[in-house]
Amino acid sequence: MESLRERSRLGEIIVNKLGSERDFDIVKIMEYNAKERCCGWCYALGPTMRCSKCLRAYCSRECQVKDWKTGCHKLWCGKSGEKCVDYEIRDAGEKGLGLFTLRDFERGEKILVERAVATKPDALGRPIDSSKLLESTTLMSATMALAPTESSSLTVKFVTNSAALSDDDVEDGGSGLFLNFSRVNHDCIGNADHYYVPDLKLMLLVAKCAIPAGTEVTFSYAGSASSTQRGMMLRARGFQCTCTACQDPAIASELDRALELDQKILSFGSFGNVGQAIRAGESLIKLHDKFHASDRLYSRVYYDLFQIAITKKSSVKLGSKYILQAYTHALRFYGREEDEEVKRLKRFVDSPSAHRNYRIMD
C-alpha cells in the first residue's frame, strides 16, 4: 500500500511527465485498476451505463457518443469482446498481468478492438502524441499503471508496452500505446493475432483458433522472425519465453521451415515455376494448419498462390480457387466487407483477370 506522500509524488510525476497544467484529482488518478470494469472510451472505473445493443460500458452519454463515432463502436458493436464480460485482465504468474478469456471464443472472433491512448509517428525520435491522454485523469492513471513501474516516464512505458502500427515491420508506421491490448503476453506461437486498421486507427486482437473460457490470450511479439532472431529480440526485451517452440527445437525448426516456404513460393513464382510454387504453398498450408496460424497468414499464402497460378492458362482455374480462399480467410480475420484488404481481394474474386499477372506467360 502506498503512503499518501507517494501518492502525491505520483500525481506530481504524472503532471510533469505529461506536461499538463490541469488540476488533477490525485485520488482519482490512484484509483485505476486494470482488473476492473471501466468506461469503453475514457477508462473511468465503475461505469454506470452501457450500449443498448451490446455490453460495452460507459461512464456517461458523452463518452458513449464519442466512442460510437470517433472510436468506431458503430462498426464493432456486438462484434468484439468487452473487458470483465468476455475477457479479463488478471495475474499471470511471473509474467505479471495477462489477458484471459471469460467465455469461449471462435476462430476469427475479435477479442478486443481498441484505440491507442498515445502514438508515436515513427522511430525517428519524433515526440509521442499524448493529447488523447489529457482527455481524462483516469486515462492517464491507467497509462501510468503500465509496466515497468508506475513512476517510469511515458517514454519508458512506450518502449516497454507499445505495439507497431504497421504490418510485420515492413514499413515504419509508428507505434501506439494501448491500455488493455498492452496486457497481452508473448508466446512464440500464441492463440491470437493482432492487426492495426490504419483507416480506423484501431487495434484488433483476433482469435487464431477456438479459445476456451479461462485461457490466457497470447501472441508473438516477434512477428514473422526466425527462431534465432526471435531469441535475440526477446532477450533484448529482457525476458525468456517458455512456450513449446522455445522448449522443443523440433517445433522451432518447423516454424523456421514455414518462413522459408513462405519466401520460396514467390521466388518459384517469379521464375515461372508454377508447379513448385504450388507445392511449396501447399506444404506451408499444412504447417499453418498444424500451428493454427492466423487467418491473415492463410489469406496471404492463398493470395500469393493466386498471383502465381493465374500467370498460366493451365492453372487459371486453380487461381480462382485460391483467391476465394484468400478472400474467405481475410473476411474472417478483418471482420468487415468494407475493409480495404477484403475489398481488394473481393475485386479479384469477381474478376481474376483484373490482376496484372493474369496469363502473362501465355
Q: Which is nearer to Zn ion, 39 or 261 (CB)?
A: 39
Residue 301 interacts with Zn ion (CB under 5 A)?
A: no
The rounded distance, in Å, linking the Cα atoms of 261 and 245 is 18
Residue 241 interacts with Zn ion (CB under 5 A)?
A: yes
Residue 246 interacts with Zn ion (CB under 5 A)?
A: yes
Q: Residues 89, 133, 188, 293: which binds Zn ion (CB under 5 A)?
A: 188
Question: Cβ of 248: how many Cβ atoms within 10 Å?
Answer: 11
Residue 74 interacts with Zn ion (CB under 5 A)?
A: no
Three-state DSSP state, 57: strand
Q: Which is nearer to Zn ion, 54 or 85 (CB)?
A: 54
Residue 142 interacts with Zn ion (CB under 5 A)?
A: no
Report 24-43 residues binding Zn ion (CB under 5 A). Answer: 39, 41-42
Q: Which is nearer to Zn ion, 43 or 327 (CB)?
A: 43
Residue 44 interacts with Zn ion (CB under 5 A)?
A: yes
Helix or strand (DSSP H, E) at 308:
helix 295-309
**Cβ at position 313, least distance to Zn ion in Å:** 45
Residue 192 interacts with Zn ion (CB under 5 A)?
A: no
Please identify, among the stretches 28-36, 162-170, 241-249, 325-333, the one whose residues bind Zn ion according to the rule CB under 5 A: 241-249
Residue 79 interacts with Zn ion (CB under 5 A)?
A: no
Residues in contact with Zn ion, counted by CB under 5 A, come to a total of 16
Please identify, among the stretches 62-70, 86-94, 190-198, 350-358, the one whose residues bind Zn ion according to the rule CB under 5 A: 62-70
Three-state DSSP state, 214: coil
Closest CA to 180 of 36, 73, 24, 60: 36
Residue 63 interacts with Zn ion (CB under 5 A)?
A: yes
Q: Which is nearer to Zn ion, 15 or 243 (CB)?
A: 243
> How many Cα neighbours within 13 Å face the side chain of 284?
25
Given a contact cutoff of 8 angstroms between Cβ atoms, the answer to whether 108 and 333 are in contact is yes
Q: Residues 22, 35, 53, 290: which binds Zn ion (CB under 5 A)?
A: 53
Q: Residues 10, 14, 56, 341: which binds Zn ion (CB under 5 A)?
A: 56
The rounded distance, in Å, linking the Cα atoms of 291 and 141 is 38
Would you list the DSSP string of 226-241?
A: -HHHHHHHHHHTT---
The burial of 263, by beta-carbon neighbours within 10 Å (0-12 exposed, 13-18 middle, 19 or more buried), is given as: exposed
Report 81-110 residues binding Zn ion (CB under 5 A). Answer: none
Given a contact cutoff of 8 angstroms between Cβ atoms, the answer to whether 254 and 292 are in contact is no
Q: 129-156 burial string, b = 16+ CB within 10 Å, else e?
A: ebebbeebbbbbbbbbbbeeebebebee
Catalog residues that contact Zn ion under the rule CB under 5 A: 39, 41-42, 44, 51, 53-54, 56, 59, 63, 77, 188, 241, 243, 245-246
